[in-house]
A and B are shown apart, each in its own frame.
Chain A
Amino acid sequence: MTPDRVLFDAPGPRARRRIKIITVLSLLALLLVAVGALWQFSRHGQLASDRWQPFSQTDYIRFLWVGLEGTLRATAISAVIAFPAGALLALLRLSLSRPLRHVATAYVELFRSIPLLLLIYAFLLGLPRYGFNLPIFWKLVIPIAMVNAAVLAEIFRAGVRGLDRGQAEAAAAVGLRYWQSMRLIVLPQAVRLVLPTLVAQLVSLLKDSTLGYVVSYPELMKQANDLTVYTHLLIQTYLIIAVVYVLINFGLSRLANLVERRLRRRGVQGPLAAPPGATDALGIAAHAVPFDARPID
């Protein structure tokens, strides 16, 4: 369902004419904006071919490629830590023991509410004073995993809560213990329910890895920064890596959509069939409460 079904009637002949006129006018306006932007670029000599040519040379590409590898490595490793940790936190929050529940709740609420950068600075400057001097890679990856585990825990928990209660009740009725029913009945279905949101959360992990710039871990942002120190091709370099990030993240969002469509075709549809991305505001330690989000497309 598209919003225009809600907002607009099917257009008649007059409305169609008006739409045509507005289409032409808006095309002109957009053209004007585009020409203005290009003119601004060329007026400052930023369109000159010698300012863009270098990016087709292999050594430039290789230099940025090293950064891309670093970005992917940091993202992958933090995902490998954050996903199981998030699942564990969700299980603790749902467990029958009250102290465990409180500890998990406190962790989740705390780490969803402090900025990642603050935590990274604490790892970078605070911990070494107390004898904890980790390699740079871990000073980036551990804070990312800590923050994202909290967000992921909420997503997993939403999956369990979104599942029909009858499933757990039936499991209890056939004599399964709490953990047996969790492991065999509840979790597999709950994970499937939130799988699209989980995939979409990879976007947030990838965005967080840009903070490697702050800790000087050679990921894409840091490599781009180093490149501009030598070449002074600031706007070109940053535009290119912005496009690289957008393409990767766009691909991940598409993947999440694909997963969701496949699941829906197979009849898995809970209150959680939420649009990927809509739940993570800015993608940085957002308060994911996916069960309240609604499908958009």
Chain B
Amino acid sequence: MDVIRHHYWDLLAGFGVSLELTLLGFVGAVVLGTVLAVFRVVPVAPLRSVGTIIVEFFRNVPLLTLLILVVFGLPDIGVTYSLFTSAAICLALSGAAFVCEAVRGGINAVPVGQAEAARAIGLSFTQCVRFVILPQAFRTMVQPLTNVFIGVALSSSLAAAVGVAELTDRAHQLTLRYADAVGCFLASGVLYLTLALAGATGGGWLERRLAIKR
């Protein structure tokens, strides 16, 4: 436990990096995923196919493979980002595939009659999407989006495998240097648990806020 007392600052700094990665990755995933969802629903065949291919690729490729491809592979064609940026990009890309499915699922769950009624009373496409479809779709999207957030938070640990100094990496380094293994892993486990629980609690709160009160 002495190691934790002397190096808690180290672990907390790592937690900060993990948090940053998670937030950047999640926000990036939501933005990219929404764009992909737009690609997949517009009545333009090539955009649809490209959207489908991108989603299937990033949903099925293991994150570690993606990370290593971006960190070690892309410099070969002259595309180089810092380790942190690479990790954030990879998290955003793999999260985006799941966000896209969540957005599409949310839109799907809106009864067709709602949109037909909106068009029948003369709302334009933008108004229809903004006032009728999205508010209802968002309600069903909260749960899957919460899952994506927690997924991104836990996956951010894989950045340690390519050398980003985040929580898992710091715990790893401390264990290599000092004898106290259990303490480091317990402490970082608790930090991850907090992050995941915070995500789940936030999602639950949002879901209750958005629920229709009858």
Chain A residues with CB under 8 Å of chain B are: 1-9, 11, 19, 22-23, 26-27, 30, 40-41, 43-44, 46, 110, 112-118, 121-122, 125-127, 129, 203, 206-208, 210-211, 213-214, 221, 225, 228, 234-235, 238-239, 241-242, 245-246, 249-250, 253, 275, 277-289, 292-296
CA distance in complex: A175, B129 (Å):
54
Q: Which residues of B contact A242 (CB under 8 A)?
A: 61, 65-66, 69
| Known contacts A113-B154, A118-B168, A253-B60, then 7 further A-B pairs from the complex at CB < 8 Å, ordered by chain A residue | A1-B112, A5-B112, A22-B44, A114-B154, A115-B155, A117-B168, A210-B65
Assuming A40-B78, A214-B161, is B41 touching A7 (CB within 8 A)?
A: yes
- Tell me the smallest distance from the CB of A127 to a CB of chain B, in Å: 8
CA distance A117 to B112 in the complex (A): 44
Q: Is the CB–CB distance between A117 and B157 below 8 Å?
A: yes
15 chain-A/chain-B pairs, Cβ below 8 angstroms? A2-B108, A4-B43, A7-B129, A8-B125, A43-B77, A110-B193, A113-B196, A115-B158, A118-B171, A221-B64, A228-B72, A238-B68, A239-B69, A282-B63, A287-B146
What residues of chain B lie closer than 8 Å to A43, measured between beta carbons? 77-78
- Taking a contact as CB atoms under 8 Å apart, the answer to whether B77 and A126 are in contact is no
B150 touches A287 (CB 8 A): yes
Q: Are A282 and B175 in contact (CB under 8 A)?
A: no
Which of the listed residues A225, A282, A292 has the most CB atoms from chain B within 10 Å of its own CB? Answer: A282
Give the Cβ gap from B96 to chain A, nearest Cβ, in Å: 11
With both beta carbons as reference points, the residue of chain A lying nearest to B99 in the complex is identified as A281
Q: Given A6-B133, A238-B72, is A282 in contact with B152 using a C-beta cutoff of 8 Å?
A: yes
- Does the CB pair A6–B151 fall under 8 Å? no
- In the bound assembly, the distance between CA atoms of A208 and B155 in angstroms comes to 11
Contact A114 B72 (CB under 8 A): no
B57, B63, B77, B148: the one within 8 Å of A246 (CB): B57
Report the minimal beta-carbon distance from B209 to chain A, rounded to whole angstroms: 16
Known: A7-B115, A117-B160. A239 touches B147 (CB 8 A): no
**A222 to B188, alpha carbons, bound, how many Å?**
26
Q: Once the chains are docked, how many angstroms separate the CA of A199 from the CA of B94?
A: 20
Given contacts A235-B73, A249-B60, A284-B154, contact A296 B108 (CB under 8 A): yes
Give every chain B residue within 8 A of A285 (Cβ-Cβ).
151, 154
Restricting to B106-144, which residues have a CB under 8 Å from any CB of A? 107-110, 112, 114-115, 119, 125, 129, 133, 140, 143-144
In chain A, what residue has the closest Cβ to B153? A115
A23-B44, A113-B193, A114-B193 known; A129-B179 Cβ under 8 A: yes
Q: Are B144 and A281 in contact (CB-based, < 8 A)?
A: yes
Contact with A along B162-183 (1 / 0, CB 8 A): 0000001001100110010110
B45 lies within 8 A of chain A by Cβ: yes
Query: How many residues in B have their beta carbons less than 8 Å from beta carbons of A?
Result: 79
Q: A6-B112, A115-B154, A286-B151 are in contact. Are A26 and B46 (CB under 8 A)?
A: yes
Give the total number of A-B pairs whose CB atoms are below 8 A apart. 231
The reply to whether A3 and B104 form a contact with Cβ atoms under 8 Å apart is yes
- Contact A294–B148 (Cβ < 8 Å): no
Q: Is the CB of A40 within 8 A of B77?
A: yes
Determine the residue in chain A with the shortest Cβ distance to B106. Answer: A294
The complex places the Cα of A7 from the Cα of B77 at a distance, in Å, of 40
Name the residue of chain B whose CB is nearest to the CB of A127: B181
Question: In the complex, what residues of B have CB within 8 A of residue A4's CB?
Answer: 41, 43
CB pair B147–A286 under 8 Å, yes or no, is yes
Given contacts A6-B112, A23-B45, contact A289 B143 (CB under 8 A): yes
Asked if A27 and B77 sit within 8 Å, CB to CB, the answer is no
Q: How far is the CB of B180 from chain A (nearest CB, A)?
A: 9
A112 to chain B, nearest CB (A): 7
> Is B185 touching A121 in the complex (CB atoms < 8 A)?
yes
Choose among B74, B94, B168, B193 the residue with the greatest number of A CB atoms under 10 Å from its CB.
B168
Q: Assess whether A250 is in contact with B60, with CB atoms less than 8 Å apart.
A: yes
CB neighbours of A26 from chain B (8 A): 44, 46-47
Cβ contacts under 8 Å, A40 to chain B: 77-79
Chain A's closest residue to B195 (CB) is A113
CA distance A105 to B102 in the complex (A): 27
Bound complex: CA of A221 vs CA of B158, how far in Å?
14
Q: How far is the CA of A114 from the CA of B196 in the complex (A)?
A: 8
Instruction: Enumerate chain B residues within 8 angstroms of A235, measured Cβ to Cβ.
Output: 69, 73-74, 76-77
